[in-house]
């Protein structure tokens, strides 16, 4: 493969920024140093005035996901294409088995769907039911199939929700395997109760969705998962924290020395719950996702969580449905397919409202958009780092250029954009995926199937101390 | 009935101490004032140098309770007799229906058992299962049968434990009825998991009991109950808080403005978990109760909770089993009947370690031993107050006299005493139950059946504001 | 003196409400019981449908106070008259010696000024400088002159502010005397710095006042005073807490078991800082007080503090200046006399926004408007209680009657009302001061000099445990 | 200069561990990659089975410091020699002007003393008094003399302590210059009060030192400094946090989004206050330092702080005095020179009790012993990183080798060792300072004057966001 030199930019990693050129060949980074010489055959990209950063990792997407009687509108090709258009070069999607379905069978289904991806990808596997075969399957997934993380839904009662007994068994098994447990934290019983009560009172519109899932419902589940993990000595990752109360639970856990990782969605950082009071049913329904958007004080709390390191990663939970699909719940908000998307815009809104606003340094931006996810999900420094030996997943970022976000111009396959009309300063002029330029000056250059599955090994170093020490758990105390 | 004058003492109520005599007639207090004149027919009790206080209320007992294949050793007569020997003149016991049993039938069983009581009593009714008939029964119990509080076990999986779905339904029903919900907070799934794991490792002795129920297991459930109550806008009372982590959950709830009441047991304030490491199996097993005794820092935290008002009431969870009964679990700690007792000693140890040690004022002592319970369970000022019109449930307390606590001399019907060998200063020289002297100078003067059932009305004033205001709950927001 | 019977009402005390009549003679309460018979000579007040409550105690007023080059517009007669018009029957004002002035001389000056009071009063004495004579004077004030509380200003640099060295000496002396220390908590150095910086930037209007005293400035001082008191083992009372950050400091202290009492002003509960952005200089300046009014989230936090018992007392810091006086600071906000008033409206706004809004029970209303202050400042149950033997300082309160608050109709001697235009439901139809009807159906019936000085003894029972126990202080540890 | 190849080890940086060789030439690192080839002239160090890590940075030492009537026993040569013997290759010492002395003059004195250093060094400059010349000098120090941090003593009343007014001025000036403010947090007024009180009671021995400086005294000052920094929008670094209460203050600040950096001493992590109760006066006095050693629960809290990232750096406050010097305070603990040392042992005890005990990963070890300090004090990645272009300050660390710590064998110039008799596993077999092997297999190879002054520029990237954003400060709000 031909080589490529990114010249004249400032390389920004999570720990450091410095003036350096970057030489790429055969898909990986070969040199990072000032004033590199290019051979004749080397293509040159001028990064003068620009930052050269690791491509983003979106650790929470749902592409081509059959859910609530329909399927997310974005497939693995369109979704990863939109991603690279926005500077994100890897996604971690979710394999979600049906009740009774073998996790390995489900894994195969998702692997097949993902073949068409334009950029690299990995999978978390959801544990949606339990018996010994599931326990076995977890071992196979970790040992042979490149999986090191398992997801658990504490909501969606009657469907994919699991109870404490399953959480306990799965967390314990994951710990044994060196895998990380993820939870969607909402108390499904409280949600179901509130949904019925609201429908009973005649509340049928999208506002009912928000009212049925107040912050306390999320915080209860977050706290419960944390305590269960604490007792079992298992590391934990809580997806899409959306409210101050969840952050408080995280903070207590961290204070007690637990390894609890936490994610926030670009949408929750910037959108408030006034969307559900829109006169337009379609507009309100387009924002139906779980957890729902929150009142303003929560956005402030989430930003503070990012600033202080309480929140480690940013994601999108990209799960798009078009207006027609959303209308399945025209007469009953509980039937509106849950989900929104922002896979293309995450990096831009984080830079604009994070770095430009002075909340994050540029190094912290890299940490929360790629490096932390890479470390937690154990693909660092292959991903999440501009360093010798790493995959050449790179964005060249012009901090002065502006961009108008709109559904009219975005590459996402959905008819709405959460950030419609927002002008952001700081734009990726080039995105590179394993050495290929896949986006340049507004042009998508992606190919079907160019992306690869990235296997992720267990026992991530970020958890090394947890694995080494005798946990302060009741069970270990006597062994 | 003849009258009786308590002369020369200092009347101590929760709000105030003052020099006053107390005139009692026909079971109630007629006058509280300095220098009362006694008629010829009036018996006089000399309270010179003594304090005249409301008799204690123990809001958490299990007399004559069939549990874990046996029955608590103390019946309603022996138990209430031991109570008055220690200055406690009212107990609130628990009606605990079997799965499928009508709560009203169970209520009748307990009412019948309690007929022999020597002092006044009331009942909480446990909700151990759910269907519409239980919902109906709650209405009848509150409306017609003198019950204003319902108990829920979050532990004891496979037996009386209820899950979140039942908690939600019952809390909501109770709120509607103006009744108070109680929870035993321990995550039963985690306990069951830990029990199995410990037995699997060959841990079969009493230490296994403590190891299977670490503080996090309690705190998780406490927090969950608090959040559920918060979402539903229901007042909550958490029994036997035993650890710092539960207090932290309480503190957060109070800080957010919730009405959450909390109880602590005399035992948890003073006994630590070293008892489970005793060489004597019988001694260790005698201390098996749930939640278990905790390491020392928790006792400090509990005292601080009492001092700061975070904990409102003191109780005993008096549920006694003799050594022979405990031995049912000789080979498996999960079969040891759970329970201990201190119905006779609570007032003394609270005074000695609370007031003498400078942690509580004498007025606070009254608050945490009777007045607060009376207010929360809505029998104030009939109980919990030395004031005109109140029931003459009174102790005359000599703050200088000492007493040696021992199973050799106690009136409790059990072969062990938690506080064996402890010398306390501050002793009830007289206990009066509705005007009758039932204990005097060490002599029990109780009669079978002299105690009465005390019906307790719903909508306690302590919750008045909660009942009046539109709760900050999702459901109410739109109504 | 003739007797008087309040008939048909519900007597509301801090612990209890009950149907009862109240017989008053010679200035004190003689009987509280249902269905009292009145003799012929007894005047009768019909309280049917009304509540009979203790008159309010305002523990923080500045009547006739020479300050910042002028003098508060309200004298002891007009101030206490306005107070009784609003149901407040006792005030505790501040003796504030000049630098170098003997505290006892200052005390005499204030005693003389207060001779004309229409209702009862007491004094806190400020410690504004230090030498051995001040130490001596504290002993005399406590031992002979009816003082049990000392105030310290941590702000007003260059005038009455004292530094940590003085706080330490005074707190220690007060503890020894059984007196309570009060602090005005604002870091005077930070305020002075900010004032200079703002003036330097050309900010000269009232907004500068608010900007120069942000919440952190208050919270720092509150925390400092708390820690100093903690180290010395001295009880502490923090006046006019206005912000969430101060409450957080209080909460931590309470959690650690400290006896820290806390006050909130009626104004801070209801007014936000938008007043300083008014187009009217006079309107903005009228609201200049310290601490200033805060942004909205602080009001929510303060109410929560009252609901949860973190805040014990409500006061007014009544220190009125008319527009002409305020204009001394026309060109420099630091010269605007600091102070506002609400002595007449405190009870009404607390009832309306507290009880009617469901935040407080009626018993809690009594606690935070009189009983708690009476207990903390050790005049309970003489004040703050409708009980036999208490002073007949009583309000008959019609919970249904409405009242429009306005400077046009108020009795306060100032040309503005903080709550202008507010309609409140719940009005005192009668106010009684030591048995005299001083306000009835809107008519003031006060007499110059009818109020009396109320001496307050040291060693209040609320601090008894603190006084008894060996404090966890470094100094005591080794004695 | 000749080149040198470290071969066969695992390079451990703060973000990552990986197998790699390290080529060093002319004092800097030239290559970091697997399987590097050495030329003939290249010396080779075999690091098989070893870790190759950045040399430690000790950001808090007092070498050759004239204090309390004597001078620390360690000079810049002996001190930095002991440092490299323990794997520490850079120290940051303190320039401490006398009252009235020009900070620049003091700086010159310290620069001259440090000429003899065996390893690299920098300086913090203390602000011990204030006038316009000091303000000017701060500008010169930052602009021309390589200083980017200023220290403030909130204790040592009557000597180097500064009051809030000075803190405010200096913090504001430092913010303007892009410099970082450090504080020694103890309330000097409380200390002075307690010292006098203890001496007055006849407490004259070393225990008096501990009793006069309880945790609350430290936490008060920490909180005060934090709040002042918050109001001014200045970054802050708190040296030698020793107690749980200070960590709580830090945690609150971090939660509110402040940039507050925090340091802990090796000694405070491992030594408890029982040392002051020793029968040996010399032993007790040897441990007199400020803040003093604390009771056990504080050590647990400090470790938790390191684990959770609340504490960023580890240091020693190396300020040694021999027994003879300590005896100046034989009859009065306030005259015992304050200070202890552990410059040689910090890395070992951190590894043993941190990494071996499972509290820290090896990457976190690097973070807290060098990388974080390098980033905060803005010499990263020149120091604190094994990467191309960095200074070759490197340790080769054998995680299996053991070492007995003892004053008999240490290189520190003091007659006591805090960790006497402790056996640690994990030892530096080689220490390299800018490419020179200065310690190898137990042999010191240092040379007088080989160390260099490391100028540190202002506006560290870790504070970039703070510098960019409009601070939420009152003053900025209106500009």
pLDDT in tens, chain B (479 residues): 579 999 999 999 999 999 999 999 999 999 999 999 888 889 999 999 999 999 999 999 999 999 888 999 999 999 999 999 999 999 999 999 999 999 999 999 999 999 999 999 999 999 999 999 999 999 999 999 999 999 999 999 999 999 999 999 999 999 999 999 999 999 999 999 999 999 999 999 999 999 999 999 999 999 999 999 999 999 999 999 999 999 999 999 988 888 899 999 999 999 999 999 999 999 999 999 999 999 999 999 999 999 888 999 999 999 999 999 999 999 999 999 999 999 999 999 999 999 999 899 999 999 999 999 999 999 999 999 999 999 999 999 999 999 999 999 999 999 999 999 999 999 999 999 999 999 999 999 999 999 999 999 999 988 776 655 433 333 344 33
Q: Tell me the two tokens of residue D355.
A: 């990494």
d(CA C113, CA C61): 14
C169 pLDDT band, cuts 50/70/90, is very high
Could you tell me if A375 lies within 8 Å of chain D, comparing CB atoms? Answer: yes
d(CA C65, CA C46): 39
Looking from the CA of C414 toward its CB, the CA atoms found within 13 Å total 34
Contacts of D469 in chain A (CB under 8 A): 357-359
Contact C246, C222 (CB under 8 A): yes
Strands across the sheet with D3-7, in order? D28-33, D21-25, D3-7, D43-46
Q: Which chains are within 8 Å of C by 3+ CB pairs?
A: B, D
d(CA B379, CA B363): 19
Contact D124, D95 (CB under 8 A): yes
Contact C425, C389 (CB under 8 A): no
d(CA D214, CA D211): 6
What pLDDT is attached to residue D477?
A: 40
Could you tell me if B425 lies within 8 Å of chain C, comparing CB atoms? Answer: no
Query: Ramachandran region of residue B3, left (φ > 0), alpha (ψ -120 to 50) or beta?
Result: beta
Instruction: Evaluate if residue D476 carries a pLDDT over 50.
Output: no
SS3 C181: strand
Q: Return the residue of B nearest to A218 by Cα.
A: B227
Could you tell me if A466 lies within 8 Å of chain D, comparing CB atoms? Answer: yes
What is the phi/psi pair of residue D296, to 5°? -55, -40
Cα–Cα–Cα angle for A453, A459, A102, rounded to 5 degrees = 55
Count Cβ–Cβ pairs < 8 Å, chain B vs chain C: 82
Contacts of C166 in chain D (CB under 8 A): none
Contacts of B198 in chain A (CB under 8 A): 475, 478
Q: Which residues contact B37 (CB under 8 A, 6 or more apart)?
A: none
Looking from the CA of C119 toward its CB, the CA atoms found within 13 Å total 37
SS3 C363: helix
d(CA C247, CA C263): 10
d(CA D95, CA D109): 8
Q: Tell me the two tokens of residue C289.
A: 């007080």
Reported ipTM: 0.91
Q: Which residues contact B253 (CB under 8 A, 6 or more apart)?
A: B226, B230, B260
pTM over 0.90: yes
B116-125, B377-386, C334-343, C467-476: least confident range: C467-476
SS3 B372: helix
D475 pLDDT band, cuts 50/70/90, is very low
Count Cβ–Cβ pairs < 8 Å, chain C vs chain D: 105
Q: Return the residue of B nearest to C388 by Cα.
A: B33
d(CA A174, CA A180): 6
Tell me the torsion sign for CA atoms A316, A319, A325, A326: negative
d(CA D148, CA D32): 30
Q: What is the pLDDT along chain A (479 residues), one digit of tens a residue?
A: 579 999 999 999 999 999 999 999 999 999 999 999 888 889 999 999 999 999 999 999 999 999 888 999 999 999 999 999 999 999 999 999 999 999 999 999 999 999 999 999 999 999 999 999 999 999 999 999 999 999 999 999 999 999 999 999 999 999 999 999 999 999 999 999 999 999 999 999 999 999 999 999 999 999 999 999 999 999 999 999 999 999 999 999 988 888 899 999 999 999 999 999 999 999 999 999 999 999 999 999 999 999 888 999 999 999 999 999 999 999 999 999 999 999 999 999 999 999 999 899 999 999 999 999 999 999 999 999 999 999 999 999 999 999 999 999 999 999 999 999 999 999 999 999 999 999 999 999 999 999 999 999 999 988 776 655 433 333 344 33
For residue C428, give the nearest of C357, C318, C350 by alpha carbon.
C350
Q: For chain C, give the mean pLDDT.
A: 94
CB contact under 8 A, B360 and C256: no
State how far residue B464 is from chain C, nearest Cα, in angstroms: 6
SS3 B67: strand
Burial of B204 (0-12, 13-18, 19+ CB in 10 A): middle
Alpha carbon distance, N-terminus to C-terminus of chain D: 55
Task: Determine which of C10, C15, C20 to mutate to test the interface with B (most B C-beta atoms within 10 Å).
Answer: C15
CB contact under 8 A, D470 and A358: yes
Strand partners, C403: C424
Q: Which chains are within 8 Å of D by 3+ CB pairs?
A: A, C
d(CA A359, CA A365): 10
d(CA D155, CA D183): 10
C472 pLDDT band, cuts 50/70/90, is very low
d(CA D20, CA D8): 7
What is the phi/psi pair of residue A73, to 5°? -75, -15
Q: For chain A, give the mean pLDDT.
A: 94
SS3 B136: helix
State how far residue B194 is from chain C, nearest Cα, in angstroms: 32
CB contact under 8 A, D466 and A17: no
Could you tell me if D300 lies within 8 Å of chain A, comparing CB atoms? Answer: no
Q: Are B3-53+383-444 and B55-380 the same fold in CATH?
A: no
Burial of C216 (0-12, 13-18, 19+ CB in 10 A): buried
For B473, the enclosing helix (H) or strand (E) is none
CATH architecture label of D55-380: Alpha-Beta Barrel (3.20)
Which whole number is the average pLDDT over D44-56? 97
Looking from the CA of D379 toward its CB, the CA atoms found within 13 Å total 29
Strand pairing report for B3-7 and A3-7 = unpaired
d(CA C181, CA A426): 56
What pLDDT is attached to residue A479?
A: 33
Contact C211, C158 (CB under 8 A): no
d(CA A199, CA A204): 6
Instruction: Evaluate if residue D284 carries a pLDDT over 50.
Output: yes
B434-443, C56-65, C381-390, D251-260: least confident range: D251-260
Could you tell me if C22 lies within 8 Å of chain B, comparing CB atoms? Answer: no
CATH architecture label of B3-53+383-444: Roll (2.30)
Contacts of D223 in chain C (CB under 8 A): 220, 223-224, 227
Q: Tell me the two tokens of residue D235.
A: 């970054």
What pLDDT is attached to residue D335?
A: 97
Burial of B112 (0-12, 13-18, 19+ CB in 10 A): exposed
d(CA B172, CA A189): 13
d(CA B406, CA B420): 5
d(CA B12, CA B33): 13
The number of beta carbons lying within 10 Å of the beta carbon of residue D346 is 26
Query: Tell me: the pLDDT tens digits for D120-144?
Result: 999 999 999 999 999 999 999 999 9
> How many helices (H) and strands (E) are present in chain D, helices listed first?
17, 21
What pLDDT is attached to residue D237?
A: 98
Q: Tell me the two tokens of residue B303.
A: 């005292």
What is the phi/psi pair of residue C355, to 5°? -75, -50
What is the phi/psi pair of residue B331, to 5°? -110, 5
Contact D352, D303 (CB under 8 A): no
CB contact under 8 A, A216 and B231: yes
Distance of CA C300 to the CA centre of its chain: 20
Task: Determine which of C152, C162, C164 to mutate to test the interface with D (most D C-beta atoms within 10 Å).
Answer: C164
Q: Return the residue of D nearest to C211 by Cα.
A: D474
Give the domain ranges of chain C.
3-53+383-444, 55-380
CB burial string C457-468: b at 16+ within 10 A, e below: ebebbbbbbbbe
SS3 B408: coil
CB contact under 8 A, C211 and D252: no
């Amino acid at each position: 493969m031909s080589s490529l030199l990114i010249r004249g930019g400032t390389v920004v990693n999570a720990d450091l920024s410095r003036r350096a050129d970057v030489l790429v060949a055969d898909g990986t980074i070969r040199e990072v140093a000032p004033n590199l010489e290019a051979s004749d055959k080397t293509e040159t990209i001028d990064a003068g005035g620009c930052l050269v950063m690791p491509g983003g990792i979106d650790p929470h997407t749902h592409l081509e996901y059959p859910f609530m009687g329909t399927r997310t509108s974005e497939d693995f090709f369109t979704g990863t294409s939109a991603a690279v258009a926005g500077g994100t070069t890897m996604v971690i999607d979710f394999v979600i088995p049906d009740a009774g379905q073998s996790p390995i069978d489900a894994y195969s289904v998702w692997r097949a769907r993902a073949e068409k991806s334009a950029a690299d990808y990995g999978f978390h596997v959801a544990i949606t039911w339990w018996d010994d075969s599931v326990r076995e399957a977890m071992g196979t997934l970790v040992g042979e199939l490149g999986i090191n993380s398992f997801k658990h839904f504490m909501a969606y009662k009657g469907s994919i929700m699991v109870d404490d007994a399953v959480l306990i068994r799965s967390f314990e098994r994951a710990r044994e395997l060196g895998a990380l447990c993820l939870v969607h934290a909402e108390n499904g019983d409280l949600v179901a109760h509130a949904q019925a009560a609201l429908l009973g009172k005649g509340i049928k519109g999208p506002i009912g969705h928000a009212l049925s899932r107040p912050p306390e419902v999320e915080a209860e589940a977050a706290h419960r998962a944390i305590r269960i993990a604490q007792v079992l000595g298992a590391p934990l990752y809580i997806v899409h924290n959306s409210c101050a109360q969840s952050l408080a639970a995280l903070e207590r856990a961290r204070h007690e020395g637990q390894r609890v990782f936490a994610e926030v969605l670009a949408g929750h950082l910037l959108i408030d719950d006034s969307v559900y009071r829109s006169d337009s049913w379609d507009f309100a329904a387009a924002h139906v996702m779980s957890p729902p958007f929150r009142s303003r004080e929560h956005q402030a709390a989430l930003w503070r969580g990012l600033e202080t390191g309480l929140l480690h990663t940013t994601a999108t939970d990209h799960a798009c449905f078009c207006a027609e699909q959303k209308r399945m719940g025209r007469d009953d908000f509980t039937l509106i397919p849950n989900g929104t998307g922002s896979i293309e815009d995450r990096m831009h809104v984080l830079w604009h409202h994070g770095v430009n606003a002075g909340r994050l340094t540029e190094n912290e931006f890299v940490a929360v958009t790629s490096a932390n996810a890479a470390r937690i999900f154990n693909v660092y420094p292959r991903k999440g780092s501009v360093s010798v030996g790493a995959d050449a997943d790179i964005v060249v970022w012009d901090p002065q250029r502006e961009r108008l976000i709109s559904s009219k111009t975005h590459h996402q396959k959905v008819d709405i954009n959460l950030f419609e009309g927002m002008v952001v300063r700081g734009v990726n002029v080039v995105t590179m995926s394993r050495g290929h330029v896949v986006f340049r000056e507004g042009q998508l250059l992606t190919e079907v199937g160019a992306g690869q599955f990235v296997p992720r090994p267990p026992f991530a170093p970020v958890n090394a101390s947890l694995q080494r020490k005798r946990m302060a758990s009741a069970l270990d105390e006597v062994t």
